[in-house]
Amino acid sequence: GTLFGEFDAPLVATTDRFDHLLVSDSNNNRICVFDMQGNHVRSFGSLGSDYGQLNNPLGVIVHPETDEIIVCDAGNDRIHTFDQKGNIGVVVGRQGRKDGHFFGPWGIVVDRNGHYIVSDSKNHRLQIFDKNWVFLKTVGKEGSKKGEFCSPLGIALDKN
């Protein structure tokens, strides 16, 4: 559905330290926030390509230190950060194949050094950025051999 608290293609969910559940409501182009009893707290985002607007948000995480909400905006080929109230922060990237550009970013994690690792799905690679979103390196390329990817989607890290 399209009403607040309803979904149309919810793809990724995460939690924050405030006991909220955050869901990327992809076809409604928004992030929905719920308390742990399932009550809708707020939603943010709307369809578009302007600053702060979303087009098919996929991956969503909450930064473990800053509490920023970080969203992979696949349809606009960029990453957004938002504060806990849904106010826009930094927007990173644009469509392309160069370093720091995206083509369908899907998943994201923050490693223990504060680096952002993004699965850049249609570019068949991972991209790594420092804590200030400065591009560091690319991992992988298209293929099926060791170190190669075919449209990487979700991403996770273990404690090591």
Whether 87 has a pLDDT exceeding 90, the answer reads yes
Asked if residue 148 lies in contact with residue 103, where contact means CB atoms within 8 angstroms, the answer is: no
- Find where tokens 């950060």 sit: 81
Instruction: Quickly count: other Cβ atoms within 10 Å of residue 64's Cβ.
Output: 12
Whole-angstrom distance, CA of residue 60 vs CA of residue 125: 18
User: Quick one: what percent of the chain has pLDDT higher than 90?
Assistant: 88
Q: Taking the model in full, what pTM does it have?
A: 0.93
Other Cβ atoms less than 10 A from the Cβ of 131: the count is: 13
Tokens of 47: 């369809």
**What is the torsion angle, in degrees rounded to the nearest 10, for the CA atoms of residue 125, residue 86, residue 54 and residue 122?**
10
Q: Is residue 4 pLDDT above 80, yes or no?
A: no
- Measured in degrees and rounded to the nearest 5, phi and psi for residue 75 equal -70, -25
